[in-house]
A and B are shown apart, each in its own frame.
Chain A
Amino acid sequence: MAEKSISKPRELLQLIIEDWTEIRKFTTCSWAKQQQFEMLTMYERLCSEIDAAIAGARERGGGDEASEWRAGQTLLKSVVCELQMWLALKESDAWSAWHSFCDAEQYAVNARRWLPQSFEPAKDQVEHLRLVERIAFPYPAFFTSIAVLVGREVCTICESEYGTCAHLAGELYDGEMCARRCEEIKEALHLALVRNPSDKRLRLREPGGIDPPPRAESRPKKPRRAKSKRKRRR
């Protein structure tokens, strides 16, 4: 895959279309780790360059252009996270792989929402990840879901109380996604087990299923060979 310079969001989308067959080829378990890592590095660098392009567009007052950049970048971020997932699986780190998968899926869903409906790579990425989940993380899982009473939450675009402005959570405004930021929780109501969580990272770990995240204190210690040799000598 050749590195190309791009100066407009449309060129980015064109680049994604041109690269898509190769991306699909690389985002598999069988592809070489080194090449996956190289693609990951290249797209991470491209994502950083797009951040600069978004900032530039906003400075010029090009809000729509900034949003177009962000939409394309979001699809690339999904690819980056998927590559991280495959690399983590190859390192037998299932927990990190699951988290990378969740990120990849969320980015893909957002990209599908923000890019034109006719943009096939975004649609393909969502469908591809659905299949990946079935194959790489099979068996339907349970997730936790909390219910709380929220006193105040603000719009991340204009910082006013959410619902009193014209910004809608999940939409792009001048290249930034609007979100609801909770500022006050009045009461915790319950914790539920659900099949359709809004955050798949809150997955319950089945015994024998996905390995728990590594913790420093529980990591197995390396056997101290020198000592045992000394023992043997005695």
Chain B
Amino acid sequence: MESKDVDESFAAAKEKAKAQVDEWGDLGRPSSKLPAPGESLLVEDDDYFLPRLRELGIDNFPDVTILPRNFKSAPSLDRLAFERETSDLRVLGRQAGVEVAPLVEKRAEIHENDIATIGAVIVIAKAVLETVNSVATLVEFFGRLGKFLGEKQEEASRGERIEIVQEVIVTNGIKATRVTYRGSAADLGTVVETLKREADALDG
């Protein structure tokens, strides 16, 4: 292969990589700020989830779903990614009694051989937080998710337990609130209390 051919292949590869980054976006998780040092929760109004949903032409979304990493940057609905951890979250949900459904049907799943250290963004409809039973199953779900993420973290850090970050969006379809948790994996279940409070405040 001549050096000119190498340069051209390199340039083509760079272009392809750039196009991919533009389409998939940066890893974008978490896409908002983190809780202040010493705090475990950050609650803020979410101003992009619902408008972006409409932009993509999604009228109905599942009660509990997961945002693909390229939710902000995908040019169209059919280019939304299907995250590898979506399948794990569906299994965890099934084990706890929560129906976790993907935002889009699976066409292909993005796999990376690096260890993900940040959980995917979860979206929960307000209605799910309105019954005692649902709240109880959500506590169970987040407890299992915490254990799962904790083990992933432990695997990534080879035995060292470090903090996890988990973002959750609560919405009533008109307004949305984003809750970002940063803390020990074992305590992730406690986030449900905040979700419930924020869900109640959405109508106010």
A interface residues (Cβ-Cβ under 8 A, vs B): 105, 109, 112-113, 123, 126-127, 129-130, 133, 144-151, 153, 162-170, 180, 182, 186-187, 189-190, 192, 194, 196-199, 202
* Complex contact B113–A199 (CB within 8 A): yes
Residues of A within 8 A of B31 (CB): none
Residues of A within 8 A of B155 (CB): 109, 198
Q: How far is the CA of A180 from the CA of B88 in the complex (A)?
A: 10
- 12 A-B pairs, CB-CB below 8 angstroms? A109-B158, A126-B159, A146-B113, A148-B110, A163-B87, A163-B91, A166-B94, A182-B111, A187-B108, A189-B110, A192-B112, A196-B156
* Complex contact B158–A166 (CB within 8 A): no
* Complex contact A109–B159 (CB within 8 A): yes
Residues of B within 8 A of A123 (CB): 159
* Complex contact B114–A109 (CB within 8 A): no
Selected from B90, B112, B154, the residue in CB contact (under 8 A) with A163 is: B90
Residues of A within 8 A of B92 (CB): 168
Q: How far is the CA of A145 from the CA of B112 in the complex (A)?
A: 7
* Complex contact B111–A127 (CB within 8 A): no
* Complex contact B109–A198 (CB within 8 A): no
Residues of A within 8 A of B87 (CB): 162-163, 180
Selected from B20, B94, B157, the residue in CB contact (under 8 A) with A190 is: B20
B115 close to chain A: CB less than 8 A: yes
* Complex contact A196–B117 (CB within 8 A): yes
B86 close to chain A: CB less than 8 A: yes
Selected from A168, A187, A196, the residue in CB contact (under 8 A) with B88 is: A168
| Chain A interface mostly | mixed
* Complex contact A147–B113 (CB within 8 A): yes
* Complex contact B20–A168 (CB within 8 A): no
B interface residues (Cβ-Cβ under 8 A, vs A): 17, 20, 84, 86-88, 90-92, 94-95, 106-115, 117, 148, 151, 154-160
* Complex contact B114–A105 (CB within 8 A): no
Closest to A148 in B: B111
Closest to A146 in B: B113
Closest to B160 in A: A130
Residues of B within 8 A of A164 (CB): 90
The smallest C-beta distance from B196 to any residue of chain A, in angstroms, reads 26
Take A112-B159, A168-B148, A190-B20 as given contacts and tell me if A202 and B113 are in contact as well, using a CB distance cutoff of 8 Å: yes
Residues of A within 8 A of B17 (CB): 190
* Complex contact A109–B154 (CB within 8 A): yes
Q: How far is the CA of A133 from the CA of B155 in the complex (A)?
A: 15
Residues of A within 8 A of B115 (CB): 196-198
The smallest C-beta distance from A202 to any residue of chain B, in angstroms, reads 7
Residues of B within 8 A of A109 (CB): 154-155, 158-159
Residues of B within 8 A of A146 (CB): 111-113
Q: How far is the CA of A187 from the CA of B23 in the complex (A)?
A: 15
Q: How far is the CA of A126 from the CA of B151 in the complex (A)?
A: 13
Q: How far is the CA of A93 from the CA of B14 in the complex (A)?
A: 38
Q: How far is the CA of A197 from the CA of B88 in the complex (A)?
A: 19
The smallest C-beta distance from A145 to any residue of chain B, in angstroms, reads 4
* Complex contact B114–A149 (CB within 8 A): no
Closest to B117 in A: A196
Closest to A128 in B: B159
Residues of A within 8 A of B107 (CB): 151
* Complex contact B114–A192 (CB within 8 A): yes
Take A112-B159, A163-B86, A189-B20 as given contacts and tell me if A168 and B108 are in contact as well, using a CB distance cutoff of 8 Å: no
Among A146, A192, A196, residue most surrounded by chain B Cβ atoms (within 10 Å)? A196
Residues of B within 8 A of A199 (CB): 113
Closest to A178 in B: B91
Known: A109-B155, A170-B151. 9 other contacts (CB 8 A): A109-B154, A126-B158, A130-B160, A133-B158, A148-B111, A166-B91, A167-B91, A182-B111, A196-B117
